[in-house]
Amino acid sequence: MSDIFKPKPGPVLRWSRGLHALWGIGATGLGGILWGAEGMALGGVAVTVGGFAWEVSNHYTPGKHRNGDGWDYLSFVAGALIPPILSAIF
């Protein structure tokens, strides 16, 4: 799989990774709002698995960046962790 995941050139912190994190926050948070703790967990799983699939699919679809990026995937995961952490605190 080493030919599928390659880092994008440039800085680690960028606006597109913020969007990846927002997808994670949105899916996990919306699941929690609509269906409680089970929905939040399911939303987190969905965005984690879906984010991985998205990054892998970049290798097989046309576009500017033809490789998955581990930092982008970790942005999905980090976003998915925010609603459960906030839920536990508040």
Residue 2's CB is within 10 A of a number of other CB atoms, namely 5
Give the pLDDT of residue 61.
Answer: 84
Give the pLDDT of residue 60.
Answer: 85
2-32: per-residue pLDDT in tens? 677 888 888 989 999 999 999 999 999 999 9
The structure tokens listed for 28 are: 């996990």
Tell me if residue 68 falls in helix, strand or coil. Answer: strand
44-73: per-residue pLDDT in tens? 999 999 999 999 888 888 877 778 888 999
Tell me if residue 5 falls in helix, strand or coil. Answer: strand
**C-alpha to C-alpha distance for 72 and 48, rounded to whole angstroms:** 11
State CA 15 to chain mean position distance.
14
**C-alpha to C-alpha distance for 87 and 55, rounded to whole angstroms:** 28
Task: Report the predicted TM-score, pTM, of the whole model to 2 decimal places.
Answer: 0.88
Give the pLDDT of residue 6.
Answer: 82
